[in-house]
Structure 1
Amino acid sequence: MKKKVTVYAEGMLFINLIWYAIHVIFQTRIIPNPIRVYRSFYLFFKEAMLLHISISLCRIFAGVIIALLLGSLIGYKMAVSDIWNKILNPLVFLTYPIPKTALLPIIMTIFGLGGASKIILITMIIIFQIIITVRDSVTRIDKECIYNVRSMGASQRQILYHVIIPDIIPGILTGLRVTIGTALSILFFCEAYGTSWGMGYYILDAWTRIDYISMYKGILVLSVVGIALFSSIDILEQKIVKWR
């Protein structure tokens, strides 16, 4: 963990040095002095930044939880049932390549401009990765292992909790790492429409007001949120997947 903190710190230092160098070279308002941006954080509470962050996080967490529950169920059904696999497999692989942002107008038309449409879009981005990961993980489980556990008197529920779930958790966490960055990007895009709260709205609002200090501050905060979410998945994996 300390090694990762060091890597993050070195990366932030390197990025800030490049940022400062670009500011000095070009001397333009579009690229402000990073020191001025960091000094502006004293307005953190005055600008209700915590509320913007909280609303964005709620949307992400809601989308992730829904995607985990539905994606795990669908992926499991596809793995253990040939009928479900024949029904759902073409649907999954036909819809997976479709850019989900292209569906935003349809989703907003059906579900409105509020938080529901944003959560649904995040869910749609994450759920396919979960479905494919769970299906492939369950399919790869050694059948002999399941037969041996069943011969020892284990019920289907015990097999699920003690064999299948421990085997698919690492794959799910890896899938979340891949999709969480995409989810943040899409959230930023979604929060440009039909809302006055969230980090995406905060950044774009600052941009339209030509308030570059606040814009960069919002970008920094959103970046820290992304790093925190990514690190949380690492910590969760260390706590849950202790055998790896």
Structure 2
Amino acid sequence: MNLQGKVFQGKSWGYLGAIVFLLALWQYAAWSLQTPLLPTPQAAIAATIRLFDADLGKHFWVSTYRVVLSTLTAFLIGLPLGIIMGYEGRIDRFLAPLVYITYPIPKIVFLPLILLFLGLGDGSKIFLITFIVFFQILVTTRDAVRKVQSETISSLRSLGGNRFQVYRYVLLPASLPDVFTSLRLSMGTAIAVLFFAESFATTEGLGYFIMDSWSRAAPDEMFAGIIMMALLGVGLFIVVDFFDNIFCRWQHLNGYKEGK
């Protein structure tokens, strides 16, 4: 088995072990508490299978569409702008104060205004998640570019490299590992904001499904929604890992060798 296969196999066993541990912990908690508010894993999984072909599947795909489009939009805007700010001093001096003032503000407080201007549909939820994830990617990318040593850029310049080639062959590869790390952290934030945005003033999405099940005192259905939201987050995390392994393959193989 080659090195990349060993890395994949190790991660697969790690995920399997984590799932078994969490299910065992959940089962123990259900047995110990003996309350209808906490169904067993079997009951929640059965409800998930039963409801997926009904309305649960529809809510899952609506939430998936919202969070994927939001994250992709934030990535496509935040990555190039962060690279430019990190390399172009004049642009950074103009935009950095604006970023420093707006970044610490909790973006969720703008939800009433966003709902007012964009309505209760997909647009408001996609904009809110994009707004939050964008700043995380922007700041991470900018700081990653600023860590690139000037000697590296000077070496490419001395070989006749132009400005575009500096961006393409130096700044972009140097920033991608930190950007993917930021995306992993952003996934948790994006899912949390998605749940909050879908929990009121809407009739679609996993957040709505969970809160509706809670209001109807249907804990097995509520946990079915929680399971699907967890699967959505884990799935997005795996997708980010997949692209990280493709575009930053050198980093992971070197890290695996050093670990050996």
Does TM, scored on the shorter chain, surpass 0.5?
A: yes
2:193 aligned partner? 186
Q: How many angstroms apart in 2 are the aligned matches of 1:138 and 1:32?
A: 49
2:246 and 2:87 map into 1 onto residues whose CA distance is 28
1:131 aligns with 2:107: no
CA distance in 1, matches of 2:37, 2:186: 30
**Which residue identity lines up with residue 169 of structure 2 in the other structure?**
H
Matched residue SS, 1:201: helix
2-side partners of 1:63 and 1:42: how far apart? Answer: 28
Q: Aligned to 2:106, which of 87, 99, 106?
A: 99
Q: Match for residue 61 of structure 1? A: 68
Question: Does 2:235 align with 1:232?
Answer: no
Normalised to the residue count of structure 1, the TM-score between the two structures is 0.93
Asked whether the 8 Å contact 1:170–1:241 carries over to 2, the reply is: yes
Task: After TM superposition, list the pairs within 5 Å mapping 1:21-32 onto structure 2.
Answer: 21-32=28-39
Whole-angstrom distance in 2 between the partners of 1:63 and 1:76: 20
| Separation (CA, whole Å) in 1 of partners of 2:62 and 2:223 | 19
Deviates more, 1:174-183 or 1:85-94: 85-94
Does the 8 A contact of 1:113 with 1:193 survive in 2?
A: no
User: Runs (4+) of structure 1 moved beyond 3 Å?
Assistant: none
Q: CA deviation at 1:191?
A: 0.7
Matched, 1:41 2:48: yes
- Please tell me whether residue 151 in structure 1 is matched to residue 158 in structure 2: yes
- Is the counterpart of residue 198 in structure 1 residue 205 in structure 2? yes
Match of 1:215 among 210, 217, 222: 222
Name the SS of the counterpart of 1:32 in structure 2: coil
- Residues 83 and 171 in structure 2, CA contact (< 8 A), matched pair in contact too: no
| Runs of 5+ unmatched residues, structure 2 | 1-7, 252-260
Checking the alignment, whether the CA contact within 8 Å between 2:48 and 2:225 is kept in structure 1 is no
> Is 1:116 aligned to 2:151, yes or no?
no
Whether the 8 Å contact between 2:74 and 2:134 is mirrored in structure 1 is yes
Q: CA separation in 2, counterparts of 1:119 and 1:83? A: 31
Q: Find the aligned partners of 2:29 and 2:145 in 1 and give their Cα distance.
A: 50
The residue that corresponds to 1:7 in the other structure is 14
Question: Is residue 203–residue 219 contact of structure 1 (8 Å, CA) maintained in 2?
Answer: yes
CA offset digits 1:146-191 (Å, max 9, x no partner): 2221222222222221111111111110100111111101101101
Which is worse superposed, 221-230 or 170-179? 221-230
Match of 2:93 in 1: 86
Cα shift at 1:81: 2.8
Question: Please, what is the CA RMSD of the aligned residues?
Answer: 1.6
Picking from 170, 183, 189, the partner of 2:177 is 170
Please state whether the residue corresponding to 2:104 is helix, strand or coil.
coil
Residues 130/233 of structure 1: CA separation in 2 closer, same or farther (3 Å cut) = same
Structure 1 residues not aligned, in runs of 5+ = none
| 1:114–1:194 contact (8 Å) kept in structure 2 | no
- The TM-score with structure 2 as length reference comes to 0.88
